[in-house]
Structure 1
Amino acid sequence: MAPDLHRVLLVGLGQIGLGYDLRLGDDVVYSHARAFSRHADFALAAGVDGDAGQRAQFTGAYGAPAYATLAEALDAQPAIDVLVIAVPTAGHGAVLREVLARCSPRAVLCEKPLADDIGEARAMAALCAERGVALYVNYIRRSDSAVIDVARRIAGGAIAGPLKGVCWYSKGFRHNGSHFFNLLEYWLGPMRDFTVMATGRLWQDHDPEPDLRVQFEGGSVVFMAAREEAFSHYTIELLAANGRLRYEQGGQQVAWQPAVAGALAGYTVLAPQAEMLESGMRCYQLHVTQQLAAALRGAPHVLCSGAEALATLEHMQPIIEQCTRM
């Protein structure tokens, strides 16, 4: 292992850590393991998982050791540059505290959401700040080329306000809805107000799925909860003053339709042919890793910082509290 490579400790060898692309072709990069193994700036130092089968698959695929506990991993691999937290959300804080009690990696990349409990999320962000460790949260869509393009167009006025839209999400407002809430804050700025239209059900008995209207700094969006058990449907439609943006199939297709003069005098319509923005969602985790490499070089990047992820949860918290009280 070259000494100048960033050594990565991957804690959690489930789907996002290892499994999503383990048996898929080389043209997709969905997992942390494959992404870090592909990037020239990083080396997979070790994995951690309580499941012996997962550990065996990780070592077999990537040639790196895997340990049953964090303590074993840190005993064997004390010099860690990047900590990746890919365990279930309830365990994020415990992993972070155990690692930072033993060492100070340069960066932590944590799965979303940062925590189930807002107090735990605040404590995690504060601990990283206190220790001088850069904290990032894996909101993957922010590193996608199409999303970055849209952000630039909105900031530059090529997609003109006011903006108004609809977002479909599922699998819980905190768990999956936060992907799109964070994305819309990236595009439209922070939330200013909200109105819950229907509280909906609790996903897995704890995460509400409300229908609501959110007023962001740069526009308003209605969030609608789909039923994941029927089919996955993750899409955003934004109407601008000069056209329509469609973010479909979870971001695999992103299209801009400018407004043009219609055939009838005095009418403005959407252009029949949309401009397709280049999306890299087939390698979404590699793009996150590329952004992390830039951050570690001190170069500009678009990763979601711990502070931004915490702000997203702070803005979502009163919505969640209102839905669970009603």
Structure 2
Amino acid sequence: MAYRVLIIGCGAIAGGYDAQRSPDEWPLSHAGAIARDDSFELVACVDPDDATRDAFARRWDVPQAAASLDALGAKPGEFDLIVIASPTGHHAAHLDWAATMKPRAVFCEKPLGSNLAQAEKLAGQYEAAGVPLAVNHLRRWAPEIVTEASRIAAGRYGALIAASAIYTKGIVHNGGHMVDLLRFLVGEVGLHSVGPARSDHWDDDPTVSAILTAQNGAPVHLIAGDARYVTQFELVLSFQKEQIAFRDGGRRIERRLVEDSSVFAGYRELGLATSSAHGLDAAMTSAYDNIRKTLDQNAPLASTAKTALAAQRLCEAIRRKALDTANEGTPT
């Protein structure tokens, strides 16, 4: 018998990204992944926008669609998995409600809450209740990125020398993805200093440049792009033996070997790049496979409230320093 799923929020990540895609393509959304997995059945959805909700229900053949949680009239135990794909400002209320429904697991878009205190409260609430809470830092499920994390941990590329990352659309919102990816690949990173910030999408969540430090002291430069001109999410990790770059949001993984220079005797340089264009292909599918194993066998989740909170703490610290600095320069 399939696990019964409720999705709260019927936008792009809920199903819109896959609305016009072929079933033969790797899914990019929750509904797309659920539709391809016989272990799950999408039985209900909630969204306040009539047109969005109705289109979602038709596309994914959802039998019950409601404008609000009250209108849904759900009872505790009715859903095995509750997916929260609503805007960030609604996550806290929806997570609170989901906990009262006593599901077997919850899968929430990041961040958990609009601020760190809210996120920590929610994470503690779910831990106390013993309800597995997955957070959609998707790259932790992407098979090729998982393989790179294992290779890095095993020392295949040698020690980290330096890293640079460029991102857009807010230090907490998209910066959270970047910081989580860094932590997943190279371990803990600390905050050294905060640089320029720009408001390229969110009024209260600027995109901030910062210098971080890896555990071995290697510098990690976080660079603020500008989503008003181009959306960017790229990470370059330079190791003693090889450089690994995660391009196009992680969809393409590029590598360059460190080799003896054929021009300058005694120098070492980076060779020509080779790349794979399938970095994120199976990420959402793997996420639901992981959740199924959690429901079936109590297997550990790859992306949890704990890992999400660690990233949000650092991002909130960067945001706070950036806003404080901006306020100090504002005339009174």
Q: What's the TM-score, normalizing by structure 2?
A: 0.90
Cα RMSD of the aligned pairs, angstroms, is 2.0
**Corresponding residue number in structure 2 for 1:19:** 16
**Corresponding residue number in structure 1 for 2:311:** 312
| Matches for 1:115-194 after TM superposition, within 5 Å | 115-194=113-192
The AA in structure 1 aligned to 2:78 is: A
**Corresponding residue number in structure 1 for 2:330:** none
Question: Could you tell me whether the CA contact under 8 Å between 2:169 and 2:200 is conserved in 1?
Answer: no
Distance 2:153 2:282 in 1: 26
The AA in structure 2 aligned to 1:268 is: R
More displaced 10-residue stretch of structure 1: 146-155 or 51-60: 51-60
Question: Could you tell me whether the CA contact under 8 Å between 2:77 and 2:102 is conserved in 1?
Answer: no
Distance 1:53 1:174 in 2: 30
1:77 to partner: Cα distance: 8.3
1:299 to partner: Cα distance: 6.7
Question: Could you tell me whether the CA contact under 8 Å between 1:15 and 1:31 is conserved in 2?
Answer: yes
Distance 1:148 1:28 in 2: 17
The AA in structure 2 aligned to 1:11 is: I
Distance 2:273 2:50 in 1: 52
1:242 aligns with 2:241: yes
1:58 to partner: Cα distance: 2.2
Cα distance change of structure 1 residues 163 and 74 upon mapping to structure 2, 3 Å threshold: farther
How many residues align structurally?
321
The AA in structure 1 aligned to 2:257 is: P
Distance 2:199 2:54 in 1: 39
Out of 47, 50, 55, the position equivalent to 1:49 is 47
Cα distance change of structure 1 residues 217 and 295 upon mapping to structure 2, 3 Å threshold: farther
| Matches for 1:1-326 after TM superposition, within 5 Å | 4-26=1-23, 27-64=25-62, 65-75=64-74, 78-101=77-100, 103-201=101-199, 203-218=201-216, 219-263=218-262, 264-274=264-274, 276-277=275-276, 279-298=278-297, 303-326=302-325
1:86 to partner: Cα distance: 0.6
Question: Could you tell me whether the CA contact under 8 Å between 2:200 and 2:226 is conserved in 1?
Answer: no
The AA in structure 1 aligned to 2:182 is: L
1:287 to partner: Cα distance: 2.6
1:272-323, Cα deviation, whole Å (9 max, x unpaired): 252x346342453223212222332337566211111111111222211111
Residue 173 of structure 1 aligns to a residue in which SS? helix
1:117-166, Cα deviation, whole Å (9 max, x unpaired): 11110111011112110111101111112210110111000121133111
1:62 to partner: Cα distance: 2.0
1:96 to partner: Cα distance: 1.3
Unpaired stretches in structure 1, ≥5 consecutive residues: none
Question: Could you tell me whether the CA contact under 8 Å between 2:175 and 2:315 is conserved in 1?
Answer: no
Cα distance change of structure 1 residues 49 and 182 upon mapping to structure 2, 3 Å threshold: same
Residue 193 of structure 1 aligns to a residue in which SS? strand
Distance 1:257 1:301 in 2: 33
Distance 1:307 1:225 in 2: 26
1:72 to partner: Cα distance: 3.1
Residue 17 of structure 1 aligns to a residue in which SS? coil
Residue 258 of structure 1 aligns to a residue in which SS? strand
Distance 2:67 2:199 in 1: 36
Distance 2:299 2:271 in 1: 35
Distance 2:160 2:54 in 1: 53
Distance 1:108 1:321 in 2: 29
Distance 2:33 2:171 in 1: 27
1:233 to partner: Cα distance: 1.6
Unpaired stretches in structure 2, ≥5 consecutive residues: 326-332
1:202 to partner: Cα distance: 6.3
Cα distance change of structure 1 residues 297 and 208 upon mapping to structure 2, 3 Å threshold: same
Q: What's the TM-score, normalizing by structure 1?
A: 0.92
